[in-house]
Amino acid sequence: MSSSGNAAFDDYRAEQLKRLEEERARLDAEIDAFHEYMANLNKAKDREEFDRFMNERRGSRQGYTEPKPDNGDQNNNGWGNNNG
């Protein structure tokens, strides 16, 4: 930092530059916090959309039943209407 030739002005200038640097650091921390907030918000939105998709998909698989224990029938694929 160059000197103006006036000690009082140089002290004032140094103080103001320090204040501005502290303000910049505070703003940088705020933007980091905002980015984290938005990332969490997007994750929550993604989770909600995925859960909705899975619920709709489960609803459209009405003919599907949970696989039954193997009773020797090799054609038991977990779908209803196995005719067996």
pLDDT (0 to 100) of residue 59? 81
State the pLDDT at residue 53: 94
Q: How far apart are CA 76 and CA 17, in angstroms?
A: 76
What letter represents residue 24's amino acid?
R
The model's pLDDT over 8-62, given as tens digits with 9 standing for 90+, comes to 999 999 999 999 999 999 999 999 999 999 999 999 999 999 999 999 988 877 6
CA pair distance 14, 21, nearest whole angstrom: 11
Question: 68: pLDDT confidence band, cut at 50, 70 and 90?
Answer: low
Tell me the pTM.
0.53
pLDDT band at 80 (very low <50, low <70, confident <90, very high): low
Reading the block at residue 35, the tokens are 């980015």
Residue 69 pLDDT exceeds 90: no
